Structure 1
């Protein structure tokens, strides 16, 4: 069943929840706000009260509530740190100095602690290491064990370029190439229905 060119989603709570989750929380999305998410969805799907359902879903997203700037505490007096929601999401660190120099000329310990699990890494260093050197050690000894952020750059780029932007009233990919990119959320697409012409950039 179609509403114009949009697929009508039946009144099935499980199906709608799965669709909203895919549009908001999948690796191909970037936890868009309710307005951006609604504009992305309404290009392909329709159901009665969809805008309200999108707003409700986004308002209940734990990650959005914790990370987005409008939900963070204002600067001021020290506040207790929130408990992380996943291991290795947040770390704390300290330096133990004043130690006798070893045969490898190390005279300090860099202590890196996962705030959720309290697991710790002790890294032998020299107290005169530069910030650049410490960053290299962090990449070699910590990031290699707990993931590489650059593995996900392509997903972030894809999500950004295929999300609706208020300033241009469409996705950057659509503005650049004159057509919509097929994403996992576009289950209804079997081909390009409309090829946008020069009027888009006038």
Structure 2
């Protein structure tokens, strides 16, 4: 205290007065300080009454009335009226029961709910979290198990559940796709959009074999249809490797079109699509896209309109690269020998390329490849699950649904998505699709796929008490709705791709 800096004239005057006295400052506990001044022992009843009057004129009277209905509090009040020191933590002053200066609230749910609505739901409370709300309530009131009641109220607050971020660890443990039994039997595909026009092309169609990691890169021009993509697949992939058993893709309009689905289903090819708002389901192609974009950025960043000339070299570069997950190159897995390396001739040197390998050696190579893939998947799963949480729902549970309106234009009510709710619902769970995806019962007018990854869902603890937050109205102007969609095609809008439909 004596080491503090004197910053105001009042402090200078007070110090000058204190210098005229010979004194020593000593600490004294409050329990033994019986002669404390009025400021140190200020009860604050007037302040509490003023604060309560701002919330409700009847709240204080309701609290006092609840004391008469609580036998336990009635005994405490009677004891304090006879002997004020009978309960060390309680006091009865000005017809008010307090515990350590806090107004005591009886076991009355209605009164507690009114306090919560005042200190949590109102503009004063601002729908704060558990700790902040508990601090506000405990600064004025006391009742038994109040921390538990505060936690339950905040946890079941519908506005908090729908508008706040989900701060839990990323829901859903990593679920790697099963390792294929043979090369080019299970593939994945995707598009790279937003490229500048090069030789009349604006899009790259990427197809990757999930076992060997071998990839094909094909250029496309806007506009294109599902028929164009299917023909490109036949010309560049089918003629080399045949039809696969399954194709994994995202929910691109091409991949969900009727032609695409009918064409491959007639060939006996299973089409596996990612769940809504979860492109990580097709993570293999996303990684290849990133590698290809990096290569083109390095090779033609000074002339971006020349990327088409580098596409064939990019495919060779990627397929002859060593992959840590398979401990070899995709080229060697597919063709059975290392990719040729063109070196300048040195006098006296000779190169002998052995291409005759037995079927047994081939099978051993595939087994070794699967072993390395499985080990890489296990390592990836262990690392990823350190930062994830396992979230499981049962059929019949009600869950809140998280949407990204900036991704789904049909779910966008207006342009200010920063202030849109984070979650909608609650909606009932109707089915479990795999270990990490669930099917919800959405309104018929929703216009979105009803299967979602667990990371987009959050359990609703008390659905009966929650008003249903309906999905945003689709951005459809007044007029007749189309009866059916006959065809789709991709067109270019600036540097972006857009979908045009024929209705």
TM range (shorter): 0.3 to 0.5
Report which of the two has the higher share of strand.
2
TM-score by length of 1: 0.39
